[in-house]
Amino acid sequence: MSERSESIRVLVAARDRAVRDHLRRVLTSTKDCIVTGVAVDGQEAVHTAGVRKHDVAVVMLDLPIYNGLETTRMIRQYVPAVKGILIGNGDVSPDMTKQAMLAGASACLSSTEIDSALLSTIKDIYDPPMPPLAPPCNIIAVTGGRGGIGKSTVASGLALCLHQKFPGQVVLLDMYTQFGDISTMLRIEDPRPLVELQAEKIDLELLQSYMSDHQSGLKVLIGSIVISPLDALGGDLLENIIHELKKGYRFVLIDLPPLMHEPVLRVISLIHELIIVTNRFEVQTVTDAKRLLDTVAPRYIPLEQVKLVVNRVSRHDSISQDQIEKAVGVKIQAMLPNQRNLAGDPMRGNTKLANALHQLANILAEEPSQLMPDSGQE
């Protein structure tokens, strides 16, 4: 039996009081078990199993109303989590054992085995309840068809929003090895860059030693602080990094360079959401977004996992939302208004940009806001 801090909860069903009392004494002779219900017939046993929490039902064969086989079968049907042990009078034949198994019993004993085998049988058949399943890690990458369109603002802003909702469960991964903006934007001093990672074996503890803390507490991994080769973070390394981060975090936000080489494509094949950033004042950024989408979907990521975000929106833009959606072939998920003076914290202040990023973070966290998206107009 697996280790357990609480006793196994046992339902006892027997017609004779002397048998019930004997079963109770045997079961309570150890701290491993506790009697949580007693029934004098099959009807009571089935009802008690259904309305109270039990782990195991010990059922005597000679029950009235429903006999032990019928009772075991009904408990198994109505309360499948309860394991049944059928106890026959005297010796148990192979045919009786077969019938007990067909009725859904986990074990079949004779009445002469109660003292010697009942407790060990309960421990053998009992499966402790599994701990609650932790939410799966969501890997979200932000990129675009070219530089200078605010990808890092979007990536860092979303990471800060999600960190606010899920403190300690979010990490921001900067994948840039040349001209990355995350460390400057978030005012992170003296980061330990990932390009210096030389270990043969990567684990979560090692990666955490490379993490920097934003003033909000958000964990940040910086790719490089000097100009390094484009492949300084190789595909194998990045894949190992992502798998390790999944063990300790609920959200991994990746600031992904607009480069379609092996490391980037490898990462795209591992993520759950790809956010492509564009704007609506330059036709070329829309064209680049379409080219990027055609390159990665569906070969590296399903189209339904791609979200289109329009950044730096203002009333002076020359391209409409409908024109962008028609050109790229994807519905726009968010319109992010233009905002200056972002250094240090893209979420600073109760701004239209901050509100729009919070709404996008709600969608990514599968907790959609009831508010309508901001129009993004200044």
d(CA 24, CA 53): 17
* Domain-located, residue 107: yes
Which domain-ending residue is among 94, 125, 156? Answer: 125
Q: Do residues 150 and 249 share a domain?
A: yes
What pLDDT is recorded for position 65? 96
The residue length of the chain stands at 378
d(CA 48, CA 31): 22
* Domain-located, residue 190: yes
The model's pLDDT over 209-239, given as tens digits with 9 standing for 90+, comes to: 999 999 999 999 999 999 999 889 999 999 9
The model's pLDDT over 65-101, given as tens digits with 9 standing for 90+, comes to: 999 999 999 999 999 999 999 999 877 899 999 999 9
Distance of CA 157 to the CA centre of its chain: 22
* Domain-located, residue 193: yes
Which domain-ending residue is among 101, 125, 149? Answer: 125
CATH number at residue 167: 3.40.50.300
How much is the pTM? 0.69
Q: Do residues 116 and 187 share a domain?
A: no
Which domain-ending residue is among 125, 147, 175? Answer: 125
The DSSP call for residue 130 is: P
The model's pLDDT over 116-173, given as tens digits with 9 standing for 90+, comes to: 999 999 999 998 877 777 788 999 999 999 888 999 999 999 999 999 999 999 999 9
Q: Can you spell out the DSSP letters for 70-81?
A: HHHHHHHHH-TT
CATH number at residue 115: 3.40.50.2300
What pLDDT is recorded for position 134? 73
The model's pLDDT over 35-51, given as tens digits with 9 standing for 90+, comes to: 999 999 999 999 999 98
Q: Which residue has the tokens 């890997």?
A: 139
What pLDDT is recorded for position 317? 86
Q: Do residues 152 and 87 share a domain?
A: no
Structure tokens at 55: 């782990």
Q: Can you spell out the DSSP letters for 223-240?
A: --SS---TTSS-HHHHHH
Partners of 86 in beta bridges: 59, 108
Q: Do residues 151 and 298 share a domain?
A: yes
pLDDT over threshold 60, residue 57: yes
Q: Do residues 118 and 167 share a domain?
A: no
Domain that holds residue 89: 8-125
Q: What is the mean pLDDT of the chain?
A: 89
Q: How many domains does the chain have?
A: 2
Q: Do residues 177 and 85 share a domain?
A: no
What pLDDT is recorded for position 373? 38
d(CA 323, CA 49): 62
